[in-house]
Amino acid sequence: MKSLVLGLILIGSSFIYSDEFVLSLNSSEQYAITEIISAMGEKNVAVLLLDVIRLRRLGDSIEQVPPLQFIGFVLTNPHLKSCLKKISKSSFKWSSFIDGFGGNMEKEYFQGKILPQLQSFTELVGGSLEQLEGYVYHQEWEKFVKCLL
């Protein structure tokens, strides 16, 4: 079995290692992800609608972040993981989240980038490798995320 997770936090960047899978985000990417997930998890739909322009700008600023890195950052942060669980209970918020995440996962899947990273990603965030592989092969992104919550 591969080694356990080793975490290292540097000022301005976050590096979390699980053998080959390295989650590295700069401070602006960390900020944007934290703001988006926190807002979606903590605010009601009416307040989110008032904040939609800011949240879209933040989303645009992290467009280059690969989806496994994005979800890995969320799932390794207890507060963000809790917010994601809250998001999953609102069909309006969840469908928006899954649309964005799923689209990015699909692009990376067809580029052959998801499956080679999946084992070490699973070691970082937990979950069943076999179950996640099945969701990836069938492009069931909602089930992919929900099984990690």
Question: What number of H helices and E strands is found in the chain?
Answer: 9, 3
**pLDDT at position 22:** 82
Taking the C-alpha atoms of residue 79 and residue 34, their distance in angstroms, rounded to an integer, is 9
**pLDDT at position 104:** 96
Domain ranges of the chain: 6-146
**pLDDT at position 21:** 80
Q: Is the pLDDT of residue 34 over 50?
A: yes
User: Is pTM, for the whole model, over 0.75?
Assistant: yes
Specify the DSSP element, H or E, that contains 25.
Answer: strand 21-26
Name which residue leads in pLDDT, 40 or 14.
40
Span 43-92, pLDDT tens digits:
999 999 999 999 999 999 999 999 999 999 999 999 999 999 999 999 99
